[in-house]
A and B are shown apart, each in its own frame.
Chain A
């Protein structure tokens, strides 16, 4: 079974600074997808960014970018110019390319933004 590990239970960053959240995963498959989800205090799950394993180029969405290291099975999220609204739980998730299963999530990282 695939596993997703987020080793940082909590991270803190000053507003306007850059922070990187770590994620590693374990899989024997070659076709898969990786995601970062944000869960603010409202509890709504919001997709932040998505990476397809067969694409070498790292995904970017505005201030959010990933560092996808396929060989190392690492998928970190970088948030640039951190804003107060970025404060949330961030979950890394994995999905097998052809499977019907749902997403496999990590335990999450609680991101605190210091004003």
Chain B
């Protein structure tokens, strides 16, 4: 158990819909990273939040957005869903904002299926 929690574990929805994925980092960690793992694209970095502020964006679509709240949990919002958005979405947390210097601890992931 990494100490990072993600809910829900599984999500099945239809094209065009909007969903919210939630991540609670380990106690004391200020950074939350979101990743997408799909068969087509592999593991891709989406976005990084540090202490409530956006720090970096990766290959995140405009239909996707995220935020980090004062209690440090984070939400990833996916809208106008397409079949290709079906993937495993991970969040990872670390103490500080540099993924190299500080180990990232991954949550168990949310499996999103878009029908």
Listed in ascending order, the chain A residues whose CB lies under 8 Å from chain B are: 32-33, 42-47, 50, 52, 91, 95-108
Contact = CB atoms under 8 A, between A and B. Distances in A.
A66 to B, nearest CB: 15
Contacts of A97: 98, 100-101
Interface of B: 2, 33-35, 42-46, 48, 50, 55-56, 58, 88, 90, 92, 97-101, 103-104, 106, 108-109
Nearest to B42: A107
Given A43-B108, A43-B109, A108-B42, A98 B98 contact: yes
| Interface SS of B by simple majority | strand
Nearest to B57: A101
Contact of B43 (A52, A98, A105): A105
Nearest to B111: A43
Contacts of B44: 105
B98 A99 contact: yes
| Interface SS of A by simple majority | loop
B92 A100 contact: no
Contacts of B42: 105-108
A33 B101 contact: yes
B108 A44 contact: yes
Contacts of A33: 99-101
